[in-house]
Structure 1
Amino acid sequence: MTRRRWIADTWTPTTASLTGDQAAHLARVLRAEPGQIFDVVAGGFLHRAEITSVSDQEVLFTLHEELEADAALPLRLLLAVFKFDHMEWAIEKATELGVAHITPVLARRSEKHLTLAAPKRAERWRRIALEASKQSRRTDIPEIAAPITLKAALEQEQSLTRILLSETEQATPLAAALASVGPTGYESVALAIGPEGGWTPEEMAFFATHNWTSVTLGPRILRAETAAIAAIAIASSCMA
């Protein structure tokens, strides 16, 4: 039977602990007891761990041997802010698919009320990523950055391979663009997904200035969350 996996809130070289909601769920719902064995991620490493004490506030583990685990994809997602329920779904699925980093981008065509509310949503997005990481048995949690403007996001992006999903591009499929960069280019890849309505011409010019390659996912117009998941799936298959 596959052991339940948890991501520690705090840890030392030999111990790890769950606090807050995670501890309460283990103590009250799962009725955890000392001596039970779980898989615990601590500091990015997966361990077999034994419960040593249980309370509603903290569950303490002793860490035993380190277990083999898959690393996250070296894939960064620039995700323009769009309808929050759809965006939450995209963040959850992107986490399950293994992305390492998600930057919410305040695009020109992001709805104004969403742009204003986005900074307050960041913590919720991080909680969604945490739960999706546990569900998909990841050994890490993708970093969810604070929402920033596109200009700021492009100026700080250092990935070797930078790919822009563009509705106006018809000639270059995503898979072909990734195949052209070779294994070295897979060491760090960034994908940019626009808002409903797409990027503005001015934003497209920003991407061109920062050496992003425009690609297509095919002839159909996809919703932002659909495009994000399709692009991540294609990229992960190419980078495998």
Structure 2
Amino acid sequence: MNIVLFEESDLGRELPLRDERAAHVLKVLRRGVGDEFDAGLIDGARGKATIKKILDTGLVMDFEWGDAKPELLPIDLVVGLSRPQTMRKILNEATTLGVRSIRFVATERGEPSYAESKLWSTGEWRRHVLAGVTQAFTTRVPLVSWGMAMKDVLDELGNVDSRKLCLDNYEGVKRLGKVLGGTRFSAVALAIGSERGWTGWERDLFREMDWTLVGMGERVMRTETAVVAAVSVARELMG
């Protein structure tokens, strides 16, 4: 953890020793009574925590907060539902890169059961998102959703003023970097298919909804690799 995150409800009470954050502070950061460490309020300010007491049951801390952290980058991700291990990586890496939303959508070639994974039903997904937030040394958490029909998601994003680009290995003739580098944009939506890619119907739907099919070269990437590459290109050209 590059920063230890807290909810509002954590303030003013002991942090139990069984909590992984307490273990990190004591065993990894090796902080003792009177020592400080970097702390943040989820979706709020970043600051310092000072250990006042170490009890048999938990840590007693004081907090001093600074300004709220900057908003997330105006990058919206649409990703085809994939294997749980792939989605875990995407949740972590895309959050670290600073996207403001990640929508995992049902696709024609995707496995419907992925929307019922324990990743979602147990709330595990949030742990991977928060790991990305702490890695980035910030506090902002992206919007995350899963299982919606692609048409519904595209309708939703149709109300967002952004450059809308769909990555496709087959019909994405234009290069992502050239498309973004040759236009002025303040926000971007990026659609990336699951392991089996898009169908012809889905490509036509993207076009009907005013998305542009783009590519990143001839090499076929894993879904999680394509996410990191595409978001990195968008971040760089966004400035």
Please give the range of the TM-score, normalised by the shorter of the 2 chains.
Answer: 0.7 to 0.9
Q: Residue in 1 aligned with 2:194?
A: 195
Q: Residue in 1 aligned with 2:234?
A: 235
Cα deviation code 1:88-110 (max 9, x no counterpart)? 12222112222221111111111
Residues 162 and 189 in structure 1, CA contact (< 8 A), matched pair in contact too: yes
Q: SS state of the match for residue 89, structure 1?
A: helix
**CA drift at 1:231:** 0.5
Q: Which amino acid in structure 2 is aligned with residue 10 of structure 1? A: E
Q: Residue in 1 aligned with 2:93?
A: 93
Residues 9 and 16 in structure 1, CA contact (< 8 A), matched pair in contact too: no
TM-score by length of 2: 0.82
**Alpha-carbon distance change, 127 to 201 in structure 1, aligned in 2, over 3 angstroms:** same
Structure 1: 5+ residue stretches without partners: none
**Alpha-carbon distance change, 17 to 85 in structure 1, aligned in 2, over 3 angstroms:** same
Q: Residue in 1 aligned with 2:209?
A: 210
Residues 28 and 56 in structure 1, CA contact (< 8 A), matched pair in contact too: no
CA RMSD of aligned residues (A): 3.1
**CA drift at 1:213:** 1.5
Q: Residue in 1 aligned with 2:139?
A: 139
Question: 2:48, 2:25 → 1: CA distance?
Answer: 19
How does 1:155-170 map onto structure 2 within 5 Å?
A: 155-157=155-157, 158-170=160-172
Q: SS state of the match for residue 92, structure 1?
A: helix
Question: 2:177, 2:137 → 1: CA distance?
Answer: 27
**Alpha-carbon distance change, 233 to 165 in structure 1, aligned in 2, over 3 angstroms:** same
Residues 86 and 224 in structure 2, CA contact (< 8 A), matched pair in contact too: yes
Residues 118 and 147 in structure 1, CA contact (< 8 A), matched pair in contact too: no
Question: 2:47, 2:201 → 1: CA distance?
Answer: 48
Q: SS state of the match for residue 46, structure 2?
A: strand
Q: Residue in 2 aligned with 1:46?
A: 46
Q: Which amino acid in structure 2 is aligned with residue 178 of structure 1? A: L
**CA drift at 1:122:** 7.2
Structure 2: 5+ residue stretches without partners: none
**Alpha-carbon distance change, 170 to 194 in structure 1, aligned in 2, over 3 angstroms:** closer
**Alpha-carbon distance change, 126 to 235 in structure 1, aligned in 2, over 3 angstroms:** same
Q: Residue in 1 aligned with 2:154?
A: 154
Q: Which amino acid in structure 2 is aligned with residue 160 of structure 1? A: S
Work out the number of aligned pairs and report it: 234
How does 1:18-167 map onto structure 2 within 5 Å?
A: 21-26=19-24, 29=27, 33-42=32-41, 43-52=43-52, 59=59, 61-66=61-66, 71-117=71-117, 120-121=120-121, 123-157=123-157, 158-167=160-169
Question: 2:55, 2:122 → 1: CA distance?
Answer: 29
**Alpha-carbon distance change, 7 to 164 in structure 1, aligned in 2, over 3 angstroms:** same
Question: 1:50, 1:214 → 2: CA distance?
Answer: 51
**CA drift at 1:204:** 1.6
TM-score by length of 1: 0.82
Compare 96-105 and 166-175 and name the one that shifted more: 166-175
Cα deviation code 1:4-57 (max 9, x no counterpart)? 511111169x97986783454357746755532122222422112323455688
Q: Which amino acid in structure 2 is aligned with residue 168 of structure 1? A: Y
Q: Percent identity?
A: 26
Cα deviation code 1:115-164 (max 9, x no counterpart)? 44377357222211101211231221222224311112111112412111
